[in-house]
Structure 1
Amino acid sequence: MKWMPAVAVPAVIVAGVLAVPLQAGAAVDLPDKSPQDVLELAAGSTVDTFSGTIEQSSELGLPEIPSTGDAATAEFADALDLLTGSRTVRVYQNGADQSRVQVQDTMSERNLIRNGSDVWLYDSADNTAVHTTLPADAAPTDGAEKDGASYTPSELAQTFLDEVTPSTDVSLAENTQVAGRTAYELVLTPDSSDTLVGSVSIAVDSETGLPLRVQVAAQDATDPAISVAFTALTLEAPPGDLFAFTPPAGATVSEETLPTKDGVGHSEADPSGVTVIGTGWDAVVALPAGEDAAALAELTASPLYTQVTDAVDGGRALSTTLVSVLITDDGRVFAGSVPVERLLAAATQE
């Protein structure tokens, strides 16, 4: 279901647990800064070499989903796990073209490794490895979108910081400490009654500007529904051998070709028909009928589909505290950090 991460990006499908709190009564004394100062501090961060541990979890109001059953049911459950589960992620970064992300599952581990133009995705659960060779003009983040769980606080924060507009109130909360580092707490509050997002809190490292923690709260909620945070962080170059990967004996290895900027290698699964309706916090992402039709058919065939979605006029809808998804009877998909009613209205405009 390659379309699932793309659908959920506006509503941040990745999540994390709260960072280690300060001792009771402890205060963090930092030089005074304005919200604009902290925005500029984060925008000017140049940290691209570090090792760290990230804790992720989310509570979006979805029921527990069994991972057993047929292939479609298991895949559906795995996708929803990104919206409900918790996990530990270890990250290693050495400049723009060397990185490793290790996602710790209950009984297995997934690794996403980039070493120059080589990108490997390895899943120990089924001993499978996928290899991709990046084109010469690849951006630093190319090849790093294999798994929604691979987001770091910095990557997640950037999705919100890029959207700061006059429709966003920007303020500062009390200074804090995350992973043993002092930070300014930047708070983004949407000036919109149509979004499900109540606020986004970003802990910005006071020295480097690196986002250390992101917490997303729903409207009228005090506890975050989503948070992703460093619990340990070292700003030193990781050992070089971490970025060398050879598939284990017996592994099933496959090659994947990325589409180039001129369209060569484009596949039917690429979301070329994606459109955005509206702007800002209440924008809606729309996928036309026929976009990745095979994956959509597999999704709707799962028995879990009717368990976690509700029948609405013209389709079925998944509703959580931070994101809604509408799948219409004619195969279109609409998603956003908005109520289902907003998606239904958007569907009538398309």
Structure 2
Amino acid sequence: MARTWQRWVPAVAVPAVIAAAVVGGAVSTASADLPDKSPQEVLELAAGADVSAYSGDVEQTSDLGLPDVSGLGSGSSGSSRGGASGDGDQTAADALELLTADHSARVYVDGDAARIQVLDQLAERDVIASPDGVWLYDSKDASAVHVTRGEGAAPDGSAAPETQTLSPADLAQRFLDAVDSSTEVSLGPDASVAGRDAYDLVLTPRGGDTLVGSVSIAVDAETGLPLRVQVLATGASDPAFEVGFTSISYDTPSADLFAFTPPAGTDVTEKDASDWTGDAGDASGHGDSTHPRPTVTGEGWSSVVSIPTGQAGVGDLTSSPLFSQLATRVDGGYALQTTLVSALITDDGRVLVGAVPLGSLQSAAAQ
């Protein structure tokens, strides 16, 4: 399954770990009666999926314990998208709104090209991606961002930012790629998703130092394409996050869907891929001292990502009106907690994130 285009879409949620663990949908789960397979055989079925073209309707819901942030950010000081402070608040508000509200989307994929249409009430957000670049369009404020690959980037787009989309197949792949000895793999009851018979692959963390109870992936019994992802918090019986197809077609989408011309009156911002990665002039993607890389401690489901921002960066975060709505003061910094992910912003300028309890982040910060 071609995924070069996925590296082109700028990340829409902060931090990235939250984006990788949080997107959702209400999907039919009627049972199916399929030939018996072992968990390993279903893993191999998903890993060997060779689906280069498809389209479908996707629905998401989430119950992460975060407040509704719709309306926040746009009314803050300097909230014009051209202002630094307002732009940051608006970006964070948009990202959190994707995590806390229900959404419907239309997904089109053809090889290295993809289009995702997020359908809001009386508005639409589009991401149109290809190996050459990506368009991000928001009809609500008639704005668009055009990110081009740039002359220094690798031909396959590998230096461009990796990201998350609303496709269940994209999200499922992240979990499948992370399967190791810290994960118990089993099968749940056969299911029917978007009219397709599917095996229910269940990933359960071994050990208790994680907020994730299990991840359920519905795998198309014929094609191997993941059709639905459900993430349950520890001790919960209902998904904290779910994303899945409500309809799907394996016909090749029309090429016209991947061509985009901004409507008249759209405010277009041009950017190079290095604006997103911080790797200007370095196609290898190693960055420089002004863009320090995150570090990872721990293993598997209990791993913690630490991102150095500097005290100035922490000051920018904590002065945001949006931040004050979401974070609480704790020993050593500020905490943001959801049912699946915790984040700790330390006073000395670090952001620690993990699918772990807050105490685990505080312990990691103290090391």
**Same fold at TM > 0.5:** yes
Query: Which is worse superposed, 42-51 or 243-252?
Result: 243-252
**Judging changes above 3 Å, is the alpha-carbon distance between structure 1 residues 195 and 11 closer, same or farther for their aligned structure 2 residues?**
farther
Deviations 1:218-276 (A, max 9, x none): 00000000011011100010111111111111111222111369725988899642111
Question: What residue is the counterpart of 2:209 in the other structure?
Answer: 194
Q: Distance in 1 between matches of 2:140 and 2:288?
A: 28
Q: Per-residue deviation at 1:121?
A: 1.3
TM-score (norm 2): 0.85
CA separation of 1:254 and 1:270: change in aligned 2, threshold 3 A: farther
Aligned residues of 2:13 and 2:92 also touching (Cα < 8 A): no
Given the alignment of the two structures, is residue 216 of structure 1 paired with residue 231 of structure 2, yes or no? yes
After TM superposition, give the deviation of residue 163 of structure 1 in Å.
Answer: 1.2
Check conservation: 1:54, 1:91, Cα contact below 8 A.
yes
What is residue 222 of structure 2 aligned with on the other side? 207
Inter-partner Cα distance in structure 1 for 2:324 and 2:258: 42
**Fraction of identical pairs, as percent:** 51
CA contact (8 A) 1:14 1:82 kept: no
2:299 aligned with 1:279:
yes
Residue 63 of structure 1: aligned partner: 67
Kindly indicate whether the alpha-carbon contact (under 8 Å) linking 2:309 and 2:349 is maintained by their aligned counterparts in 1: yes
Describe the superposition over 1:190-223 as per-residue Cα deviations: whole angstroms up to 9, x where unpaired: 0021100000000000001000000000000000
The CA distance in 1 between the partners of 2:131 and 2:34, in whole Å, is 38
- Following TM superposition, by how much is the alpha carbon of 1:14 offset from its aligned partner in structure 2, in angstroms? 3.3
State the 1:348 CA deviation: 0.8
Q: Report how many residues are paired.
A: 338
2:280 and 2:170 map into 1 onto residues whose CA distance is 22
For 1:13 and 1:167, locate their aligned partners in 2 and report how far apart those are by CA, in whole Å.
Answer: 17
- In 2, the alpha carbon distance for the partners of 1:241 and 1:114 equals 13
Letter in 2 for 1:263: D
How far did residue 52 of structure 1 move? 0.6
Q: CA RMSD in A?
A: 2.6
Q: Residue 16 in 1 paired to residue 60 in 2?
A: no
Aligned-partner residue type, residue 342 of structure 1: S
> How high is the TM-score relative to the length of structure 1?
0.88
Residue 326 in structure 1 maps to residue 344 in structure 2: yes
Give the equivalent residue in structure 2 for 1:290.
310
1:108 corresponding residue in structure 2? 123
Q: Which residue of structure 1 aligns with residue 197 of structure 2? A: 182
Determine which of 135, 141, 166 is the counterpart of 1:126.
Answer: 141
Counterpart CA distance in 1 for 2:145 and 2:289 is 17
The equivalent of 1:247 in structure 2 is 262
Q: Does 1:5 align with 2:13?
A: yes
- SS of equivalent to 1:253: strand
Instruction: Judge conservation of contact 2:114–2:128 (CA < 8 Å) in 1.
Output: yes
Instruction: Report deviation, 1:74.
Output: 4.5
Contact persistence 2:11–2:161 (CA under 8 A): no
Question: Structure 2 vs 1, CA of residues 162 and 61 (structure 1 numbering), >3 Å: closer, same or farther?
Answer: same
Offset, 1:112:
0.9
Label 1:100 to 1:226 Cα distance change in 2 as closer, same or farther (>3 A). same
* Of 79, 83, 100, the match for 2:95: 79
Q: Distance in 2 between matches of 1:54 and 1:211?
A: 12
1:126 is paired with a residue whose SS is coil
Partner SS for 1:160: helix
Q: Which amino acid aligns with 1:123?
A: D
Q: 1:181 to 1:334 in 2, by over 3 A?
A: same
Which one of 22, 25, 44 corresponds to residue 40 of structure 1? 44
Instruction: Supply the AA of the counterpart residue of 1:28.
Output: A
Deviation sequence 1:13-62 (CA, Å, 0-9, x none): 5311231232xxxx411111000000000000011201111101211111
Shift, 1:308, TM fit? 1.9
Unaligned runs of 5+ in 1: none
